[in-house]
Amino acid sequence: MNYQTPSYWRPILAGSLALLPFSAQSELVGYYKFDGNFDDSSGNGNAGELFGGASYVPESPTVLGGGQSILFDGQPGTYGAINPSPKEGLAITAQPFHSVSMWVKADGLQNRDKRIFSEAQSTDNNPLFNVGTANNADNGTVDIYIRAGASLNHPRSIGIAFDDTWHHVAWTAQGKVMDLYIDGVFDSQFDYNTVNDFIPTTTTIGGILRVSDCCNYFGNIDEVAIWDSILSADDIASLAEGTSADELTGVKPNLDLDDDGLPNKWEVENGLDPNDNGSVDPKNGANGDPDNDQLTNADEFANGSNPNDADTDSDEVKDAQEIALGTDILDPDSDGDGLLDGDEVTRGTNPLAADTDGDGITDNGEILAGTDPKDPNSFPSEDDTLAAYWPLDSTDGATTPDLGPYGYDLELRNMDATNFVTSEGRAVASFDGIEDFLVRKSSANDILPISKMRHLRFRCGSKPPGLIKMIGGFSRKALNLAMILCSILEPAIMDLIIQLMFT
């Protein structure tokens, strides 16, 4: 997973559908073998770059079976950055869970207060998440320093990792509790709950990068792997024995340490204790109901709802009642008619049908028009619903006029006056079916675009009135269908009427 903010294109084209974003999920966020490059072998594209006096050398831990590592010279300006500027690192330590694994070889006597891993901010020197060598001793221990306002002030490992031989260093962080492992064996636990949350903008190995770099490491680093989940003790032992990160099979996307059927990540995100299956505090277990909405935590997890909010989607219908009604527990307007589900329940309309009485006008449209959404014989008059009328019989060379109440003239694209012709005795607009189209850019307060409409009326050319249809549902799709029908039935569109059936 690339933790850079994605840029999604959502083009809206005349008569076409919008493209919606899709993102994949992944456990292994970044994996760096350092065999002559800083590529990301996880496939997530989170590549790195070396700076200063760092180089690839033909030396690596014996259990890895050969290869290269990075040798850092310990001088200012020397470090490795993952997703360097203009990107903003990984911000992995801001995730609810993370794990990091690496091999290190360095002499503690030459590395006082140096960093093997760091996340920080490029514009603020205070926030830090650091793992490195002892800050005021030369004893080869692993030193932890985490700061944002308050700090976890340099506690150290029990074991030795910096004695000029290769050692495997790994840690996991669940919430703000960190478990440190050296050579595949649990060493120490560190609690940094007093430290404020912060979002890092730099991720580095071999030094810290803030406004400038510092604490530059002198030694080797190899096989850095980063996960957005918790590795088990067996996973870490396997890595220390030489298993590569992309061969690790023990990683579980839904780790559940207390075996209550609720993944740790979900529990932490929702303020529940991932180490309590309800035996200590019943609200933390699968049968807990912290919001008292008659749905258990297991029910809320299965439905994707919030265990701490009795009305997850804020539609004035409680979660349990939504399940009974069959409405969408995550959508305040299940039928998309512009009325909250709770409003529909109160009014007696159907929250699962956009048009309760089946008269071709949405429930909200009728309410806005002052008609009865439960009576099929009560609906707005046609004149009251006109949003736009384009005769398509003339042009000033740049636009063709809207004779409706709002004056939404259409702009010509790949068209000119020659597209406005006479057919069957009347003026019409002619399209080549390839690149000719008409468009209008709408502002926020306009009745248009069509995406705001629930229904439209469309008349094609000179065809008899029987071809006028009320097309409901997703209006951009409906407009596209109407255009296709018109192009088949009548190559030249003689007039185009759009009627707004009140959203």
**pLDDT given at position 494:** 46
The total number of residues written for the chain in this structure:
503
Q: Which two tokens stand for residue 315?
A: 């539609």
pLDDT at 428: 75
Q: CA–CA separation, 306 vs 289, rounded Å?
A: 11
CB 81 within 8 A of CB 144: no
Yes or no: say if 162 and 106 are a contact pair by the CB < 8 Å rule. yes
Burial class (CB in 10 A: 0-12, 13-18, 19+), 275: middle
Three-state SS at 390: strand
pLDDT score at 385: 59
Q: Tell me the residue type at 121.
A: Q
Assess contact for 432 and 492: CB atoms under 8 A.
no
Whose tokens are 């929250």? That residue is 351
Name the 3-class secondary structure at 467: helix
State the 10-residue block means of pLDDT for the chain, 503 residues long.
Answer: 30 25 54 96 93 96 94 97 94 93 94 96 95 90 96 96 97 93 97 95 97 96 94 93 82 69 85 89 94 94 94 94 93 90 93 86 78 82 64 87 81 88 75 76 65 46 38 42 48 46 37
This prediction's pTM: 0.54
Three-class DSSP category at 43: coil
Main-chain phi, psi angles of 436, to 5 degrees: -80, 130
Q: What pLDDT was estimated at residue 408? A: 83
Name all domains of the chain by residue range, CATH numbers in brackets: 28-247 (2.60.120.200), 259-301 (no CATH), 383-499 (no CATH)
Contacts 24+ apart (CB under 8 A), 413-419: 413/437, 413/438, 413/439, 419/395
CB 358 within 8 A of CB 352: no
Q: What are phi and psi of 498, to 5 degrees?
A: -115, 125
Question: Element (H or E) spanning 227, and its range?
Answer: strand 218-227
